Structure 1
Amino acid sequence: MRKRYALVGTGGRAEFFYGAIARDYEETAKLVAFCDINETRMNYANQLLEDKYNHPQIPLYKSSYFETMIKKEKPDTVIITSIDRTHHYYIIQSLELGCNVITEKPMTTDVEKCQQIMDAIHRTNKEVRVTFNYRYAPHNTKIKELILNDVIGEVYSVNFEWALDTQHGADYFRRWHRDKRNSGGLLVHKATHHFDLVNFWLSTTPETVYALGDLRFYGRENAESRGVTNFYQRAYQDERALNDPFAINLEENKHLKAMYLDAEHEDGYHRDQSVFGDGISIEDTLGVLIKYKNKAILNYSLNAYMPWEGFIVVFNGSKGRLEVQVKEQSYINSGGSKADEGKVKEKFIRVLPMFGQPYEVNVIEEEGGHGGGDPLLLNDLFGHSKEDRFNRSASHIDGAISILTGIAGNMSINSGLPVRVDELFM
């Protein structure tokens, strides 16, 4: 019997899920409804479903009729791809109404909402899965395998640098993410992926978090300090944006125009705000020091204005050192090609034994986003999942631990003090 799925939030993250069901998983999954605050955007998703995937259009429900949708369409699972600050509401409502949940990361944005979700899971005995697709990328799985196989022994310290380029990184400062109340900032919205990877790689959880961060590149004040005077609120119909390499022109991208520009009359959301405008409350330059329960130490940094996209991570262990560098293609929501989303452009994994010759480890990338990791995740969600020795499927526990790391980082930035993660949560 096919499982029934309803999806909430038909913005940029939604097609990854509903497109996969319509294209690849019709034998095991059935789309039964879309739900959103914006009817224009839902209509566009429905049209894509029909035109691009040859799938019949499905019923649409405004967000105020969420409960009606659940009772009428009877989904087994609700997929949540709405704005981050609303995840907890839809997760809890879905659980209370008898549904399981698949949610985009981050699971939620603050401690109180996280506690409410955990209480609802305990109360209803239903399931919440968080879609950490980076776990499934072949190079990240290989790192896990090398550590499990004791190639460099016990890992004592990790240096982890993540670079967001000026296409991807800037986009967080154009959109709703720029308001920390919506996204929790990059330590929650973006770094939840990275903190989860470290938990996954090292099979441990964080104990103490100390963080520093600031808005150093984006924002009006920083632009003024560099002599920029060409200020505007949004790119649409503003000539001052024509020569700004950080601007995005929604009219030039048919997909973004239909999803956002044509829909903004309903909710007033502007997808193309200036990254050098006022009202930005998230950081673009971040450093975090974390001690884990197994005594490993992580030195993490995130910068959102780099000339390349990807990460460098180094593991120092009792038997040697593991060095990794991965360069990625930027992602679709900034106007790129869906086929190239998360595509691995360059990579190397190098093992340096304590007593022996260094050598490189070959990793075969597959078709699909994130080196073939995305199709593996989608099959795990909607197809016939297989036994996985690496345990890549992420639960609500994994989702909570990763966001609490970022939340602790935000608290540390505000207070100037280290934060113990266990003290945040009951």
Structure 2
Amino acid sequence: MRRYSFVGTGSRAQMYLAALLGPYADLGRPVAFCDTNEVRMAYYDRIAGAPLPHYFPDAYDEMLKQSDVVFVTSRDDTHADYVSRALLAGVDVVVEKPMTIDLAGVRQIHDALQAGTPELTVTFNYRYSPRNALMRQLIADGEIGEVTSVTFEWCLDTVHGADYFRRWHRDKAASGGLLVHKATHHFDLVNWWLGDRPEVVFARGGLRFYGPDNARRRGLGTRPARGLIDGDPFSLDLASDEKLRELYRDGEHLDGYIRDRDVFSDGITIEDNLNVVVGYRGGASMSYTLHAHCPWEGYRVAINGTAGRIELDVVERPHVSPAGASSAIGAATAASKVAVALAEPEAEPAEVLDPSALSESESAVADAGHRQRGSRLLLQRHWEPAVEVPIPEGAGGHGGGDAMLLHDVFRGPSGDRLSRHAGFADGAASVLVGVAGNESLRTGTAVYLHELGLSLP
């Protein structure tokens, strides 16, 4: 029975701990938590049903001596250090995306892998979503011939998108910005769909909606640096939600982490509007956009090929009411989200921060107006009418994708012709598109990945 430890006890760790305590309890057991905050580790003790040994970051190497596998679910800028130290200690690693946030982190992990034999898994759960897997299948089967170009638009709404601007993600030094923290999902999807590697990146973007300058320009007036503004959907009251209070407010005096900064306050160094062009080794190109203040959430993808075109339209949340904004953020940390991800029938459907975590049937909106939640995939070959390809829907988070991801994490991949399991090369390829995009934002020029000095397999 394998010994599993956790570094980082924010909301990201919940799904893995719940899986280990439930359907995968026969394979291993949780043995330790590592975090900067004793309050958060105590919260996870209650989920585990018994107190486990607690380690602070300066004792991380001691925890590794008691571990066979470590889940790295800490802040993004800490990933490279925790991952590489575990690999060098002979401990297998499961790391949440992004694998790291910069070129130095990619090199550090690469060197650690070269020095030993442990395994590294990067958890790209979007690969396991049935609609995204179907896209991969259609391309691999040659339904549209050789891919020539991709258009990809991602919309984050004023709940999910806004939340990146009140917590640690707002600091590019901690998150790499949305081109790394969020778009690594999307860049990985395209890399995986095409079975190709990125070659050159050009990006434009900026902070156009959040932040104090934009607030003043729109006449929003003086706002507190954190906390609740009565009637304002962009403000957050940590005290009103039990899980937010337990995980964050009650422990903020220990490490200074503030979870409820105002999205229009000073200190934001990331962009909320981004446009990226990516060229691939095989000749295809991608036009990608990300907007973090849309009135609805979802994405649109069009893939053109020499024999036709595939279009995928996904509406994950048609709209959110001002009254529902704060409750969605609280629900994201609640145990119900973990239950939904594991397809437990007693899970209470909820308006959650990231609506992709729920299946389509579980998150129907009663009054969605003319934009309805759901997914639609069209395949149109040259000289033929378009046909809709049915998308299979499984139980649980990401249309059943989370359950398949957890199977690969705990039992290992076997016979998957779509190659959904991701490792270092996949993690590096997705991160480096974001890294190159950030460099392009800084310089105003296109960035060739080979100029970064790291060769991708």
State the Cα distance separating 1:250 from its structure 2 match.
1.1
SS state at 1:302 partner = strand
Is 1:280–2:240 an aligned residue pair? no
2:131 maps to which of 113, 127, 139: 139
* Alignment partner of 1:319 out of 292, 307, 311: 307
* Secondary structure, aligned partner of 1:13: helix
Q: How do 1:15-414 and structure 2 match up within 5 A?
A: 15-50=14-49, 56-71=50-65, 73=66, 75-235=67-227, 241-329=229-317, 334-336=329-331, 338=337, 339=340, 341-342=355-356, 343=358, 344=360, 345-383=373-411, 385-414=413-442
How far does the alpha carbon of each residue in 1:397-421 deviate from its partner, in whole angstroms, 9 at most, with x for none? 1000100000000000100000001
Query: Contact (CA 8 Å) 2:170, 2:268: kept in 1 or not?
Result: yes
Distance 2:72 2:328 in 1: 17
Residue type of the alignment partner of 1:115: R
TM-score for the superposition, normalised by structure 1? 0.94
RMSD (Å) for aligned C-alpha atoms: 1.5
- C-alpha deviation, 1:126, in angstroms: 2.1
Structure 2 CA distance, aligned partners of 1:204 and 1:137?
20
Q: 1:425 to 1:369 in 2, by over 3 A?
A: farther
The answer to whether the Cα contact below 8 Å between 1:234 and 1:274 also exists between their aligned partners in 2 is yes
- Structure 2 unaligned segments of length 5 or more: list them: 341-348, 350-354, 361-372
Distance in 2 (alpha carbons) for counterparts of 1:45 and 1:169: 27
CA contact (8 A) 1:213 1:287 kept: yes
CA contact (8 A) 1:152 1:317 kept: yes
Q: 2:421 & 2:436 partners in 1: Cα distance?
A: 24
CA–CA distance in structure 2, aligned partners of residues 86 and 120 of structure 1: 15
Distance 1:369 1:46 in 2: 24
Q: CA deviation at 1:23?
A: 1.6
Note the C-alpha offset of 1:77: 1.0
Say how many residue pairs are matched: 414
> Which range is displaced more, 124-133 or 177-186?
124-133
C-alpha distance in 1, partners of 2:285/2:428?
20
Instruction: Check 1:386–1:100 CA distance in 2 against 1; reply closer, same or farther (3 A cut).
Output: same
Runs (4 or more) in structure 1 with deviation over 2 Å come to 329-337, 383-386
Aligned identity (percent) is: 46
Query: Residue 384 of structure 1: CA displacement?
Result: 5.6
After TM superposition, the score normalised by the length of structure 2 is: 0.88
> For 1:316 and 1:250, how far apart are their aligned partners in 2?
46
- Per the alignment, residue 53 of structure 1 pairs with none
**Does structure 2 retain, via aligned residues, the 8 Å contact 1:115–1:425?**
no
Is the Cα contact below 8 Å between 2:413 and 2:421 reproduced in 1?
no
C-alpha distance in structure 2 between counterparts of 1:327 and 1:18, whole Å = 29
Where do 5+ consecutive residues of structure 1 fail to align?
51-55
- Secondary structure of the 1:124 match is coil
Distance in 1 between residues matched to 2:241 and 2:331, nearest whole Å? 9
Where 2:25 maps in the other structure, the secondary structure is coil
Other-structure match for 2:363 = none
